[in-house]
Each structure stands twice: as structure tokens, then as C-alpha cells.
A and B are shown apart, each in its own frame.
Chain A
Amino acid sequence: MIVEARSITKRFGKFTAVDNLSFTIKEGSITGLIGPNGAGKTTTMGMLTGLIKPSAGEVLVLGKKPEAANKDIGFLPQDAQLHPQRTALDHLTLYGKLKGYTKTEAKEEGKKLLQLFKLQDRKTGQLSHGQRKIVGIAQAILGTPRLIILDEPTAGLDPGMAHHLKQQLLQLRKKATLFISSHNLAELEQLCDEVIIMQEGKLIVQEKLKTFLQQQNSVAITLEQAAGSFVSILKTLKDATVASEANTLTITFSDKDKTPEVIAILVKNKARIRSVHQASLEDSVVKLVHKP
């Protein structure tokens, strides 16, 4: 295991941001950290990087305290500003030197990353929000550390750059372990092989993505009309819960899959079905963390 979090708790005064959280991250995996705002994701990442000290419990990265493993960690913090007077390459050169490169090597690595992300070497104060985010990502992946932790990496990026970044992260998985927090669950579904879901500072799920989706045993049916009126009709189904949002019905089976039966009922009640698919990560997470 590259990361072991053992019963970590973080309190800020009377507020408990992270509550007795334990999880592990396997080397070579891409793990998504998911949860609503205020779930404790950023605090958890802070504790993994040594920026935040746990009030209780212990974090081990490569079997060591995060501070002792700092040369093996790359981290993109959320909403952290770069020095506006330094250029993108100045930043990357400095961080490359701290990573162990000579000045020349650090500059070369920095230039390669700027090229990779098609970024001009300007003062970061003159870059757009998205471009500054790219500099932040570049410093996190500089030198391909063994553990790369990214907090909301695609927030603020244009779709083209977000796609490009996703491709780069998939390339990196051959050499590094990635731990990514994002509210873009469609994106995480494409990238991750494991998910950790948090709510109110607590762990509610740690599972392989595929297993998690299968366990959810849910089907999402999109109609051509509003879905709300069909909820009461489907309530007659045994061992199933039904939820609706706009023109989509999400049906979760507690026992075996009864999708054909559901479709038959809907057709009989004059529902016009546009599509039927297994519930996405987003559907499953919304259902899990926003259940009444």
C-alpha cells in the first residue's frame, strides 16, 4: 500500500472536519475521492501531504510520515495562488530543484511540461485562471512522483484542456499512483479504478469502481416526458426504490435486476423511453449521499 490512513481525525476547534477515517491506496491505482462540499476531502488530502496535522490517528505514505516521504509526493492544492511575479518556468525550475534536479535539468523538465500543456512562459499574474491551474498541475506531476494527489484538477479548465489532462493522467498511471478529488464524477468514472466516498468527515464507501457500480444494482431510464408521474406507478415493484429527477428515473433493486419488468410497466403506462443504462457513478453517488 502506498498510503495508509489509520483512524485519522481532524478537528478545527469544535468542528470535526474528518472523523476517524481509515483507508488505503494501492500502488499503481487511480483512486477517486468523492463527496459533497464540506465532506472533508481537502482536509484529508492536506493530511496526506503533511500540510495539515491530524488531531488523532496516523497517515503513512510509503510506510513513512508524509513529511519524510515529501520527495515522492506531487500535490495540486485547491485554490492556492502562485507568486504573480514569477514566470511559469521560474516556478517549475524552483520546484524541480527541490525535487532533486540540477538547475539545468529542472529548467529542461519545466520546459517539457510547458510544451506538453502548450503553455507560454509568462508571469503567472498574467495567466488566466485555467492557465495557472495548469502550472499547478505541472508542478504536481514534475519528475513523476510515486504518489500524485490532485484536488479538483479540472475545475476551471476548458473542455479541450480537461480532455488533454485526462489523457496525460491515464499515461501517468503506468508510473505513478494517482489520488484525485473531483466533483466531475463522469470524468472520475473514466479515470478511476477505485473510489473512496466521504460524507460529513466519515468514510462511507471504499470499493473498486466496477464493484461499487454493480453493488448499486441501479438502472437509469430516461424518458421523453417528465419522470415524476411514474414514480408512484413503479412503487408497486417489490425490492426496488425509485427516484426521479427531470425526465430520468433511477431504480435501485435490493435483490435481482428487474429491468424488463420495469420497462413493461412503463410502456403499459404510455411512457416514451429514450434510453436505458446502468446507473452512472454520478447517479450512484447522488443516491448514496443525498438519500432522504
Chain B
Amino acid sequence: MHTMRDFGILYGDEVKQAFKSKKIIVLLAVYLAVLFAGIKLGNLFEPFGSYLALPELPLAFYAVVLLSLILLPILIIVVSYDSIAGELATGSMKYLAYRTSRQTIFLAKYAALLTIISVPTLLFLVGGIFSADPIPWITVLSYALYLLVYAAAFLSLAFLFSVLFKKPQRTLYISLLALIILVILRFTSPYYLSLFWYAHLTPVYLGLTLFALGYGILGLILFWRTDIL
């Protein structure tokens, strides 16, 4: 009972604080501006149409999906690197962690950041249903779900690093480095070495969900075991 109530309180507080954070507002504004530019310059993405396997769909829709696939991992790392590590480093986590369970704190922060990051993307996709060249809602739902799980997967990885490295700057650098290495591996190595191995699982949602759950649960266990000094 306490857990659900505490989750709601912390979730609401995290969302509220995020919208007071200049860093998050600027990052979201840049992200939205890029998505908007993608819609306006959708024709530039024609060569990627076959890669995305989205026949018969407007190029502006491709643009939003493709730009989200590229930008979301970076946005997630930059927005979330200090979510746990920052509070561990400054000690402010102590004020929360003696009042409520670690899993409540972890999940509330996770859900709040996922909301903040996903909502703009989902709004852009939903906009497709009502555009001049409407997209079937089932297609929008399918891609919205895909991007949501995609964002969750990277957020899980970012939270795992945040708990593992405990210092915000270190977490940021290592997360970005890991992302670069894994992207390189994606194009140069067998798929099982790549962060994007899930793309080879069928259906792709299953792979991404396993990825999100696996790294998320690992991060949660590590956080639960961490001594908050």
C-alpha cells in the first residue's frame, strides 16, 4: 500500500522537477525541433525507406521514426546519467532511501524519465493519424509501442550504468563511450556482440523487452544491494 502511494508521490515529483530543469527542457526542445525538421524535410529520408520497411507510408513518418531511433539513445543517456548517480554522489539519496524502498525510488525515477522522453515522440507519431496524409492507427500504435520499448531498453542500460558507476560524470562518459562502441560493433561484428542484437530476434518487441527487463532488473538488484554512504 505504502509502496504504490510512495511510487505515485515520487513519480509526480520527478516529472515536476524534470520540467523545472533547464537541462531537460533544452534537450527536449532540441529533440522536438529535430523531429519537426524531419517532418518538414521528410523527402531527404527516402533512401532509408526500404531499411525501415515501411511501404506506403508518408516519408515524414519515416523521418520521425528514424530520427527517434538515432536520437533517443543519446537523449536518454544525457537526461538520465545523474538520476541515480547524482543523488548517490551528493548524498541526497539518503533523505529518500531511509523513507521508502529502493525499488520504489528506482521504478519511480525510471517511469518518470520514460514518460518525459517518450511522450513527445509518441505525440509526433499520433499526429500522423490526423495529418493530411493519414496513417492507419494500427501502424502508429505498432511503431509507438516499438519506440517505447526501444526507449525503455536504453533507459534500463543508462540506469544500470548510473547505479554501477555511482559518479555522474563517470557514468555519462562511460555510457556515451559504450554507445559509440556498440554502434560500431553493430556494423562491424557478428550481431551477438552488438547492443542491437535484439533486432535479430523475432518479433523485435520481444528482444527489446528482454533487453529492457534484463538490464533494468540487474540495475535494480545492484541498487538494492548498494550501501548508501
Contact = CB atoms under 8 A, between A and B. Distances in A.
Interface stretch (A21-29, A70-78, A209-217, A241-249): A70-78
Interface stretch (B71-79, B92-100, B126-134): B92-100
A50 interface: yes
B101 A80 contact: no
Q: Interface size for chain B: under 10, 10 to 19, 20 to 34, or 35 or more residues?
A: 20 to 34
Contacts of A85: 17, 20-21
Nearest to B96: A98
B227 interface: yes
A239 to B, nearest CB: 46
A139 B96 CA distance: 11
A173 B228 CA distance: 28
A263 to B, nearest CB: 50
A95 B20 CA distance: 19
B20 A82 contact: no
Contacts of A49: 98
A135 B196 CA distance: 46
Interface in B67-93: 90-92
Interface centre among A70, A79, A139 (most CB of B within 10 A): A70
B98 A51 contact: yes
Interface string A85-118: 1100001001101110000000000000000000
A85 B18 CA distance: 11
B200 interface: no
B227 A51 contact: yes
A113 to B, nearest CB: 15
Interface in A130-177: 136, 139
Given A81-B90, A94-B9, A98-B9, A50 B98 contact: yes
B229 interface: yes
A161 B90 CA distance: 25
A52 interface: yes
A136 B94 CA distance: 11
A46 interface: yes
B101 A67 contact: yes
A50 B96 CA distance: 11
B2 A71 contact: yes
Given A46-B228, A97-B9, A98-B6, A80 B98 contact: no
A83 interface: yes
Contacts of A258: none
Given A51-B97, A139-B95, 19 more contacts: A12-B227, A46-B228, A51-B228, A51-B229, A67-B101, A70-B98, A70-B99, A71-B99, A80-B95, A81-B90, A81-B92, A82-B95, A85-B20, A91-B95, A94-B9, A95-B95, A98-B6, A98-B10, A98-B99
Interface of A: 12, 46, 49-53, 66-67, 70-71, 73, 75, 77, 79-83, 85-86, 91, 94-95, 97-99, 136, 139
22 contacts: A49-B98, A50-B98, A51-B228, A52-B228, A53-B225, A66-B98, A70-B99, A70-B100, A70-B101, A73-B98, A77-B91, A77-B94, A79-B91, A80-B92, A81-B91, A85-B20, A85-B21, A86-B17, A94-B13, A95-B99, A98-B9, A98-B96
